[in-house]
């Protein structure tokens, strides 16, 4: 696990009822971001996961691309929030836009 430094982004990560606090040094790259989450959630690198962040309105927003990850970080920094709230789910939803299994 990465130790916190002043420039690190705090990732409050929820997975299967657990809350994990992770730190990642910007700029975040999608591949290493997903690897960090899979390692923290003890999931093999070959397993598919769905990652969502909670926006300023409390809505879950999928992170499927570098652009979406960059936007989440930009909004976090713009808002001055202390952490990026992340939810990790196993697998993929049946269709894009549908909730993941275990998502409220």
Nearest to 25, CA basis, from 42, 50, 6, 12: 6
**Do the domain assignments include residue 15?**
yes
Domain count of the fold of the chain: 1
62 in a domain, yes or no? yes
pTM of the model as a whole: 0.90
Q: Is residue 80 part of a domain?
A: yes
Q: What is the pLDDT of residues 34-67, one digit of tens each?
A: 999 999 999 999 999 999 999 999 999 999 999 9
Residue 21 belongs to a domain: yes
Strand partners, 1: none
User: Domain with 45 in it: what CATH number?
Assistant: 3.10.20.90
């Amino acid at each position: 696990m990465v130790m916190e430094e002043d420039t690190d982004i705090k990732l409050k990560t929820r997975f299967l009822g657990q809350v994990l606090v992770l730190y990642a040094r910007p700029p975040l790259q999608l591949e290493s971001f997903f690897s960090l989450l899979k390692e923290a959630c003890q999931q093999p690198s070959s397993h598919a996961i769905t990652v969502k962040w909670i926006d300023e309105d409390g809505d879950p927003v999928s992170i499927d691309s570098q652009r979406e990850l960059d936007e989440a970080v930009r909004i976090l920094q713009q808002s001055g929030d202390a952490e990026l709230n992340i939810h990790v789910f196993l697998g993929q939803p049946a269709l894009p836009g549908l909730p993941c299994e275990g998502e409220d």
